Amino acid sequence: MAELFWGKVYFKDVFAGYLRQEPGETVSFAYDASYLQSNLPPIAHTLPLQEAAFKSHNGLHPFFDNLVAEGWLEGAQKRLLGKRSLSRFELLLAFGADCAGAVSVVDPEIEKRTQSLLDVHDPKEMALLTSRASLSGVQPKITLIEEKGKLRPARSNELSTHIAKFASRGHPDLLDNEILTTKAFKSLLPSDGVVELYMGEIEGFKEPALIIKRFDRYQGARLHFEEFNQLLGKQSAAKYDGSHQEMAEFILTSDKCLPVQAYHLYARVLAGLLLGNTDMHFKNFAMFHTETGYRLTPSYDQVCAALYDYKTLALSIRGASNLRIGNLKPKHILELGKEFVLSSQAIQMIVEQLGKNLDAAKQSIAESPVGSITMRDQLIDQMEKRWNGIFALIGKSLSAKQ
């Protein structure tokens, strides 16, 4: 008889319930009676408090599926477990101790399951093994602890404070790209929240890494947030399947959101498009769970993907899927504003703000010591072309419509 996996689910270190594999492809999650009586919130928007178990008949429920690692991290986890074929449930059980947000998944039999681990010589993979962390994204990354002003890999019994991203073989200058694009994004929207990041050293590692301060950790505690893929009930693999409008509708129809959040989200999308971030999918936008409702997290994963010939926008605009950024026109920006239920005046305000801060964004790139001169020039040149060819014409388009 095949072994059926199960794990304990915790919310901010409080036992919340059990995640169980059942015969077939079914996986269930049930809140424990003690949690239901604790006055703590649901662990996810799509998992409201109730006595009955939630059952997913096609693998993990979307909330949990989005906690499982992707890309390099997923491959490294499989190598560490010494198996070529692993279910996403097994990966979550083995590495769910330090997930994004406030929820963790712990396998009570983890030691028994990992006795046959391969001998690991890669320091990244060893750090991954000792931390038991699960993170989204395709780049090589590990979790870190800041201790006495220095950074070291986190251990399995520690709550990480930072994430380290390492250079990608396919795009060796990707880290420089993210730093420069994030700096420019912050200059375009100076009053908006953006993750803190910098190039730094890690104890025991020869190569530098991009260090990102975790916005879901504060004074040794987990902060509760969900990516839009989770909020919308989408599996991890479906992060490109949909439109920006779905996020706007979630905000505008939820009594837990302030309508002004749609305005800020629209501004983030426009700033990303101006910077050439074509990879803005549902997992790259998220909201905190707060006592007063859902609020946008700081912006993260700002990368000019267009620099690497990723020219197609991740999400559709007004029904136009697979839209190439070179075919983006003022009408698309205006139609996107309509999807966010914004007035012409609100759209104009955001575009004018971007225009007002354009020189500061270009300057932040030009004066940065990060990246090659060629990369900095390309980022600035592409941003200028998009501004002149699209955004600068929006005022005229609005006047013509009026």
Q: Is residue 83 part of a domain?
A: yes
Query: Is the per-residue pLDDT at 317 higher than 50?
Result: yes
Last residue of a domain, one of 66, 97, 118: 118
For residue 8, report the phi and psi dihedrals to the nearest 5 degrees.
-95, 135
Domain co-membership, 379 together with 245: yes
pLDDT at 59: 86
Give the mean pLDDT of 303-322.
90
pLDDT band at residue 140 under the 50/70/90 scheme: confident
Q: Is residue 177 part of a domain?
A: no
Q: Is residue 161 part of a domain?
A: no
208: left (phi over 0), alpha (psi -120 to 50) or beta: beta
Domain co-membership, 233 together with 104: no
Q: Is residue 134 part of a domain?
A: no
pLDDT at 353: 96
46 token code pair: 């799509």
Domain co-membership, 110 together with 230: no
Q: Dihedral through CA 354, CA 357, CA 359, CA 362, nearest 10?
A: -80
Domain co-membership, 394 together with 266: yes
Residues 339, 317: contact at Cβ < 8 Å? yes
Element holding 387 (H helix, E strand): helix 373-389
pLDDT band at residue 320 under the 50/70/90 scheme: confident
Last residue of a domain, one of 118, 152, 185: 118
Give the mean pLDDT of 200-223.
92
Give the mean pLDDT of 337-355.
95
Q: Is residue 102 part of a domain?
A: yes
pLDDT at 82: 66
Q: Is residue 397 part of a domain?
A: yes
Highest mean pLDDT among 11-15, 89-93, 317-321: 11-15
Q: Is residue 273 part of a domain?
A: yes
Domain co-membership, 257 together with 372: yes
Query: Is the per-residue pLDDT at 1 higher than 80?
Result: no
Picking from 8-12, 175-179, 321-325, which range would have the lowest pLDDT averaged per residue?
321-325
Domain co-membership, 112 together with 228: no
Residue type, 137: G
Query: Is the per-residue pLDDT at 276 higher than 80?
Result: yes
Give the mean pLDDT of 223-243.
96
Query: Is the per-residue pLDDT at 113 higher than 70?
Result: no
- Note down the domain range covering 397: 224-401
| 3 state SS of 312 | strand
Domain co-membership, 239 together with 369: yes
Taking only Cα atoms into account, the Rg of the chain, rounded to an integer number of angstroms, comes to 22
Q: What is the DSSP letter of 169?
A: S
Give the mean pLDDT of 328-343.
94
Would you list the DSSP string of 17-84? EEEEE-STT-EEEEE-HHHHTTTPPPSBTTB-S-SSPEEESSSS-HHHHTTS--HHHHHHHHHHTT-S
pLDDT at 342: 96
Query: Is the per-residue pLDDT at 21 higher than 70?
Result: yes
Query: Comparing C-alpha atoms, which of 172, 190, 166, 281 is closest to residue 234?
Result: 281
Query: Is the per-residue pLDDT at 84 higher than 80?
Result: no
Domain co-membership, 382 together with 251: yes
Domain co-membership, 243 together with 387: yes
pLDDT at 132: 56
> What CATH number is attached to the domain comprising 255?
1.10.1070.20
| Distance in angstroms (rounded) separating the CA atoms of residues 394 and 398 | 6
Query: Is the per-residue pLDDT at 380 higher than 50?
Result: yes
pLDDT at 171: 82
Last residue of a domain, one of 118, 141, 165: 118
Domain count, the chain: 2
Mean pLDDT, rounded, of the chain: 88
Q: Is residue 28 part of a domain?
A: yes
| 3 state SS of 138 | coil
272 token code pair: 């990303």
Domain co-membership, 348 together with 229: yes
